[in-house]
Structure 1
Amino acid sequence: MTRTLERPPKAAEPMLAGEKTRTENFLVKLFAVVPLLALAVAVPFAWGWGLSWTDIALATGFYFLTGLGVTIGFHRHFTHGAFKAHRALRIALATTGSMAMQGPVIGWVADHRRHHAYADRDGDPHSPWRYGTTPTALAKGFWHAHLGWLFDRQKTNAQRFAPDLLTDRDITRINTWFPALTVLTLLAPALIGGLITLSWWGALTAFFWAGLVRVALLHHVTWSVNSLCHMIGERPYAARDKSTNFWPLAIASMGESWHNSHHADPTGARHGVRRGQLDMSARLIWAFEKLGWATDVRWPKPDRLDRKLNPGHHPAHRGRATRPEGG
């Protein structure tokens, strides 16, 4: 079936900036496939040996540390400007987000801004609908949106989609540190595990679980927002695309799976805008605001969201529904 996505108007700056080099393409595949292989052997490896409470604690800690660097830093702050951050917080978010091994910060932001500019249309780097609506086309689209798009040789033009970050010396420096931060995110758990257990075995299992397996889990949760959250779930709000709210991923994605709410209000600091919709990223932004580390936070406005309601959906609760409880 032919592609069915709409073609957006041309812009002054080109959308793409050439192709990845062979080295870049190889490293992307390496970073995506090696953690996935570790995840595939994780269950038999853990059956009766090879997994300790130290490994679980380290994996959980590094999962949320690096995941929140992506959700709060790469996504809500750098991509959408949902809040302003003091310099130290800005550097910390760019650093911990880079340790999620999802690519350098500038490229990540450029890809995601391009996604919003062309969501589910021609030009979207990871729409699951790009091949059509038949079962075969959707299966192919799911693979593309979830993982396949990473293997494309074309590069998003950062000059067009992230010019603000290209002129930020702190961020460009951290962008170049990505290889070193990749080594750090894999070896730091091993070092900590070895010191806690005073053994090479403790270092090895921490490397496996809190390094490789943790990275793989976070990768696939993030990629599921690109794939599942444009295919299945609820669509309470009108958006130009097929984004959905998918509650089973709310905790693991740290609030990112309230994706339809996000696409209806992209610059909002909170994505789980209704009561009971867990969004730990928004909760932490609220804490940063109280501490004075984050300012000009763009909390969603109920009236604006209510105007975007699709038929059959009730308005969100007023007041605290758009902010973390206690905010």
Structure 2
Amino acid sequence: MTSRSDVLDEAPNQSPSDDTAPSATLGGERKRSVEQITLLLFIVVPFLALVAAVPLAWGWGVSWLDLGLLVFFYFLGCHGITIGFHRHFTHGSFKAKRPLKIALAVAGSMAVEGPLVRWVADHRKHHKFSDAEGDPHSPWRYGETIPALIKGLWWAHIGWMFDEEQTPQDKYAPDLIKDPAMRAISRQFVLWTAVSLGLPALIGGLATMSWWGAFTGFFWGSLVRVALLHHVTWSINSICHAVGKRPFKSRDRSGNVWWLAVLSCGESWHNLHHADPTSARHGVERWQVDSSARLIRWFEQLGWAYDVRWPSRSRIDSRRVAPDGAAPRGKEPAEAA
């Protein structure tokens, strides 16, 4: 089952000029061992901090400052990913004025989930082959038995990132490679990672005028925050393609997982997203929390975002699964244009 997305998801196979080659966006089509080791460190160290956070909070407590740093930088990076990397850069759900576009690229980079161009290329490929052969991170990769699904969930959650083969960036994200500012931000991923990890420590240290405040700011606002955001984001790849309600017809197994909605900033309403990939709103029912859509609405009202692809009620209904499990006749989800 192949879930085709909009024209951005199937970007033409263009070969950028030498000065805009994929290597210029940090990383080519094969992942080097040093990249894999670095990736492992960025996964393991924050995860160990997340595990240690529970006994530390129980024994020593957590200050309001540290909690505030965790929450602020979590949602800054999360919305940078969901609004910026995902809805804007990958799917073109809205157009952004240049300052907002740059701000979203930087905020998404501070989530420490990889360079902009690589992230977008991987996600466009995911939509082109969703839950079919060619999908970079489908939990159904190994089959449908319980052992196969357990193995597949691990692959979809973390394992796929260590695959040596990389998505061709010039094929799936030529538009970003051609944009000097976006290409530069993608190449500066290490810088934005340092800023993301360093700011909570700097703020904590200055606010308390102590090294201990800097350490706890770094522990909660950097390490614990990054680990939590990583696993929530990866859960969209794994959990939301294995379980959840499927009220809309899509060509894959994407599902809505309500208990991830707040932490994922609305991304866990994943079934509608795969049924209508260019929609700026994923939580389309009145009770479905989607903070990313709310922020896009505010950006639109401020004049920072325009040509927003808000789904109409008729468009939403045309993608619903009929009571008998089949899509309404003549209302099968259209491939986004």
Q: Could you tell me the TM-score, scaled by structure 1's length?
A: 0.90
Write out aligned runs for 1:167-186 (5 A): 167-186=178-197
Structure 2: how far apart are the matches of 1:89 and 1:142?
35
Name the structure 2 match of 1:284: 295
Shift of 1:46: 1.9
Which one is further off, 106-115 or 42-51? 42-51
Structure 2: how far apart are the matches of 1:286 and 1:215?
27
Structure 1: how far apart are the matches of 2:13 and 2:185?
25
Q: Cα distance 1:313–1:98, how it changes in 2: closer, same or farther (>3 A)?
A: farther
Instruction: Give SS of 1:224's match.
Output: helix
Q: Given that residues 55 and 193 in structure 1 are in contact (C-alpha distance below 8 angstroms), is that contact kept between their aligned partners in structure 2?
A: yes
Shift of 1:48: 2.4
What amino acid is aligned across from residue 127 of structure 2 in structure 1? H
Name the structure 1 match of 2:81: 70
Name the structure 2 match of 1:312: 323
What amino acid is aligned across from residue 156 of structure 2 in structure 1? A
Is 1:259 equivalent to 2:239 in the alignment?
no
Name the structure 1 match of 2:47: 36
Shift of 1:313: 8.9
Q: CA RMSD in A?
A: 2.0
Name the structure 2 match of 1:317: none
User: For each residue in 1:139-176, what CA deviation from the matched residue of structure 2 results, as whole angstroms up to 9, or x when unmatched?
Assistant: 00000011111111111001110000000011011011
Write out aligned runs for 1:189-228 (5 A): 189-228=200-239
Shift of 1:311: 2.5
Structure 2: how far apart are the matches of 1:12 and 1:98?
25
Shift of 1:309: 1.2
Identity fraction in percent: 58
Shift of 1:301: 2.0
Is 1:27 equivalent to 2:41 in the alignment?
no
Name the structure 2 match of 1:54: 65
What amino acid is aligned across from residue 283 of structure 1 in structure 2? R
Instruction: Give SS of 1:155's match.
Output: coil
Is 1:148 equivalent to 2:162 in the alignment?
no
User: For each residue in 1:169-200, what CA deviation from the matched residue of structure 2 results, as whole angstroms up to 9, or x when unmatched?
Assistant: 11011011100111111110000001111111
Name the structure 1 match of 2:308: 297
Name the structure 2 match of 1:322: none
Shift of 1:11: 10
Structure 2: how far apart are the matches of 1:224 and 1:126?
11
Structure 2: how far apart are the matches of 1:172 and 1:53?
38
Structure 2: how far apart are the matches of 1:49 and 1:307?
53
Instruction: Give SS of 1:156's match.
Output: coil
Which one is further off, 30-39 or 170-179? 30-39
What amino acid is aligned across from residue 136 of structure 1 in structure 2? P
Structure 2: how far apart are the matches of 1:285 and 1:238?
25
Structure 1: how far apart are the matches of 2:211 and 2:171?
48
Structure 2: how far apart are the matches of 1:11 and 1:245?
27
Q: Cα distance 1:213–1:313, how it changes in 2: closer, same or farther (>3 A)?
A: farther
Q: Given that residues 264 and 305 in structure 1 are in contact (C-alpha distance below 8 angstroms), is that contact kept between their aligned partners in structure 2?
A: no
Q: Given that residues 50 and 205 in structure 1 are in contact (C-alpha distance below 8 angstroms), is that contact kept between their aligned partners in structure 2?
A: no
Shift of 1:312: 2.5
Instruction: Give SS of 1:121's match.
Output: coil
Structure 1: how far apart are the matches of 2:12 and 2:79?
34
Name the structure 2 match of 1:239: 250
Structure 2: how far apart are the matches of 1:21 and 1:164?
25
Structure 2: how far apart are the matches of 1:81 and 1:218?
23
The runs of 5 or more residues in structure 2 that have no matched partner are 5-9, 15-21, 23-27, 326-337
Instruction: Give SS of 1:19's match.
Output: coil
User: For each residue in 1:228-280, what CA deviation from the matched residue of structure 2 results, as whole angstroms up to 9, or x when unmatched?
Assistant: 10111100000000000110001000000000010011001000011110100
The runs of 5 or more residues in structure 1 that have no matched partner are 315-327
Structure 1: how far apart are the matches of 2:249 and 2:30?
35
Q: Could you tell me the TM-score, scaled by structure 2's length?
A: 0.88
Name the structure 2 match of 1:99: 110
Matched pairs, number: 307
Which one is further off, 42-51 or 175-184? 42-51
Q: Given that residues 271 and 282 in structure 1 are in contact (C-alpha distance below 8 angstroms), is that contact kept between their aligned partners in structure 2?
A: yes
Shift of 1:47: 2.2
